[in-house]
Amino acid sequence: MQLIKENISKFKIQDYLGKNFTCDCGREHTVEIENVIIENGAINKMPEVLKLLHYNKVFLVADTNTYKAAGEQVENVIIGNGFELKKHVYKRDDDLVPDEVTIGEFIINYYNDADVIVAVGSGVLNDLCKFMSYKLNTPYIIVATAPSMDGYASIGSALSIENLKTTVSGEVPKAIIGDVDVLKDAPLDMIRAGFGDMVGKYSAINDWKLGKMVNDEYYCDYVSGMVMHSLKKCMETAEGLENRENEAIRNLMEGLVLTGIAMSFTGNSRPASGSEHHLSHFVEMMYLFDKKQAPPHGVKVGFNTIVMNYIRQRLSESNPDINEVLKKASSFNKDKWTDDVKRLFRQAAPGVIHLNENEGINSYDKRVERVKRIIDNWEEFASLLKEVPHHEEIREILKRIGAPISLKELNVDKETIINGLVYAKEVRNRYTVLQLAWDLGLLDDIATEMESSFFNE
Ligand SMILES: [Zn+2]
Ligand SMILES: [Zn+2]
């Protein structure tokens, strides 16, 4: 089947599943998820889903919170319809961490005869069961308890191994069950985080287009359109989130799942993650080094979208001069850069330095090549940067749903964020607006300027 951009608004999530699509981008797109049900009362459809996928013996995994929120109901529906079920409910005083102990506990309690793992939860339980499904070669189904992040449909699993956050291989779920009656009762902070993760797509998609324009990176107009369409729907009903309105919650959950599907389509996280995520990873790393608790992922991503859109606007209004930019490029001080990376990234510094040298990110010749292309086509670049909503618009919508819009509310210190503006681009080799600002020799100035004005508001 051919994907045609004009039809994006007609496609529902289910239409994308279990098919191979040809696309104008030259690639085939496919996702291995077979079933997605996002509606009120979706849990009641569990027996139907199990029958359809030919599963009879269920290993149900939850923690005490998610068991209360939905697990018990899932268990009753499954047992009540004649399926066999064994369960493990994690008991923790603090949040469940997807670490070695949690994995061991999974194995000890595992139901050997199970032909499917049913995870009831959000981020952590999804990551855990995604990984266990991959390791045990047993499919899994996720019953979501919060619309809090876009990882439900993605492949990678974020675990905490030897106290370090690590992304490892995982399996996509065979089915995603999003019961709106359950999702809307999730803690408001988790709903706000999910919305922040979604708002971040403005920034991620803009960075993806930038990567195409600067480095001829692979880009799919259909996939970016599909993410933007679901984001638009989320924005239209955003104000209903605070009151837990059905449509707002459903649109948010659909957007988060669809973004995961978009990542499967492209085989990377370009449709979902750009500079706003890199800055978030940077803050997480710094907080982990200092053993401090960082704000939830999506909350940071939402706030960072205000920041990145401000930088986009600032750049779009600049008028780069090739001679000045080249002068800046030749004055790049590699020793200072290396010292800064070692100081900030600590035990992770060798990896950062290696990535940079391997890819020649800071190499003068490559930078000059990029700069020439950018300045030769500056009009086009400036108008791309203006495609995102104004930073005040993002701030306003986040404010209306009660999400943090200042560093104080976010509870992140200014120094970490300013360091992040300059050095977050080092965490991934991926072209973003931060790299553009650096290429143009403006990143340091913008960071200094934001330190004294933008972040004081
Ligand atoms: Zn495509
Ligand atoms: Zn995210």
Are 21 and 2 spatial neighbours (Cβ–Cβ below 8 Å)? yes
Residue 411, token pair as written in the block: 């509870």
Question: Are 145 and 197 in the same domain?
Answer: no
Residue 80 Cα to ligand 2 midpoint, Å, equals: 37
Do residues 180 and 173 lie in contact, with contact meaning Cβ atoms separated by under 8 Å? Answer: no
**Inside any domain, residue 68:** yes
Same domain, 181 and 205: no
**Could you list the residue range(s) of the whole structural domain that residue 433 is in?**
190-219+270-456
208 in the same domain as 145: no
**If you measure from the C-alpha of residue 17 to the centroid of ligand 1, how many angstroms do you get, rounded to a whole number?**
15
Tell how far the Cα of 47 is from the centroid of ligand 1, in angstroms: 34
Determine the pLDDT at residue 457: 60
Contact assessment for residue 400 and residue 239, using Cβ atoms and an 8 Å cutoff: yes
Residue 137 sits in the same domain as residue 203 = no
* Ligand 2 geometric centre to CA of 426 (Å): 18
Q: How many A from CA of 113 to the centre of ligand 2?
A: 35
Domain annotation covers residue 240: no
| Contact present, 419 and 349 (Cβ < 8 Å) | no
* Stated pTM of the model: 0.95
Q: Do 134 and 208 share a domain, yes or no?
A: no
Residue 230 resides in a domain: no
**Which ligand is nearest to the Cα of residue 194, counting in written order?**
2
Phi-psi region of 176 (alpha: psi -120 to 50; beta: other; left: phi over 0): beta
Q: How far is the CA of 81 from the centre of ligand 1 (A)?
A: 41
Residues 121 and 203 in one domain: no
Angstrom distance (rounded) from CA 188 to CA 244:
9
Ligand 1 center to residue 367 CA distance, Å? 29
**149 CA to centre of ligand 2 in angstroms:** 6
Q: What is the CATH number of the domain that holds 331?
A: 1.20.1090
Q: Is residue 444 part of a domain?
A: yes
**How far is Cα 277 from Cα 298, in angstroms, rounded to an integer?**
9
Tokens matching residue 96: 């469940």
Give the ligand at the shortest distance from the Cα of 296: 2
Q: Are 242 and 401 in contact (CB under 8 A)?
A: yes
pLDDT in tens, the chain (457 residues): 899 888 899 999 999 998 999 999 999 999 999 999 999 999 999 999 999 999 999 999 999 999 999 999 999 999 999 999 999 999 999 889 999 999 999 999 999 999 999 999 999 999 999 999 999 999 999 999 999 999 999 888 889 887 777 888 888 999 999 999 999 999 999 999 999 999 999 999 999 999 999 999 999 999 999 999 999 999 999 999 999 999 999 999 999 999 999 999 999 999 999 999 999 999 998 998 898 888 999 999 999 999 999 999 999 999 999 999 999 999 999 999 999 999 999 988 998 898 888 888 888 999 999 999 999 999 999 999 999 999 999 999 999 999 999 999 999 999 999 999 999 998 888 999 999 999 999 999 999 999 999 987 6
CATH number (domain holding residue 129): 3.40.50.1970
Cα–Cα nearest to 121, from 113, 132, 109: 132
Alpha carbon of 259 to ligand 1 centroid (Å):
14
Which one of the ligands is nearest to 222 CA? 1
- Residues 194, 180 within the same domain: no
Q: Classify residue 263 by burial, with Cβ atoms within 10 Å: 0-12, 13-18, 19+.
A: buried
Nearest CA-CA partner of 241 in 38, 400, 122: 400
User: What's the gap in Å between 11 CA and the centre of ligand 1?
Assistant: 15
Q: 301 alpha carbon to ligand 2 midpoint, in Å?
A: 7
Domain-terminating residue out of 145, 166, 186: 186
Q: Which ligand is nearest to the CA of 22?
A: 1
Classify residue 242: in a domain, yes or no.
no
User: Which residue has 């266990």 as its token pair?
Assistant: 132
* Distance, CA of 49 to CA of 434 (rounded, Å): 44
Q: How far apart are CA 350 and CA 345, in angstroms?
A: 9
Q: Are 325 and 332 in contact (CB under 8 A)?
A: no
Residue 193 Cα to ligand 2 midpoint, Å, equals 9
Helix axes 275-289, 188-215, angle to 10 degrees: 120
272 alpha carbon to ligand 2 midpoint, in Å? 7
Q: How far apart are the CA of 290 and the centre of ligand 2, in A?
A: 22
Does residue 382 form part of some domain? Answer: yes
Task: Supply the pLDDT for residue 348.
Answer: 85
CA distance 160 to 294: 15
Domain termination residue (choose one: 186, 202, 236): 186
Burial 295-328 (b: 16+ CB within 10 A, else e): bbbbbbbbbbbbbbbbbbebbbeeebeeeebbeb
- Give the number of the ligand closest to the Cα of residue 224: 1
| Cα 256 to ligand 1 centroid, rounded to whole Å | 19
Number of domains in the chain: 2
Judgement on whether residues 135 and 276 belong to the same structural domain of the protein: no
Same domain, 92 and 213: no
Q: HEC string of 90-140?
A: ECCCCCCCCCHHHHHHHHHHCCCCCCEEEEEECHHHHHHHHHHHHHHCCCE
Among the listed residues 114, 115, 116, 173, the one whose alpha carbon sits nearest the alpha carbon of residue 144: 173
Residue 339 falls inside a structural domain? yes
For residue 2, report the distance from its CA to the centre of ligand 1, in Å: 10
Q: How far apart are CA 138 and CA 34, in angstroms?
A: 15
30 CA to centre of ligand 1 in angstroms: 10
Distance, in Å, from the CA atom of 127 to the CA atom of 168, rounded to the nearest integer, reads 9
Please report the pLDDT score of residue 154 as a whole number. Answer: 85
Same domain, 423 and 343: yes
Closest CA to 139 of 27, 38, 71, 55: 55
Last residue of a domain, one of 166, 186, 206: 186
Whether 291 and 150 map to the same domain: the answer is: no
- Position 227 in a domain: no
Alpha-carbon Rg for the chain, nearest whole angstrom, is 22
> How remote is the CA of residue 247 from the centroid of ligand 2, in Å?
22
- How many Å lie between the centroid of ligand 1 and the Cα of residue 197? 23
Same domain assignment for residues 297 and 162: no
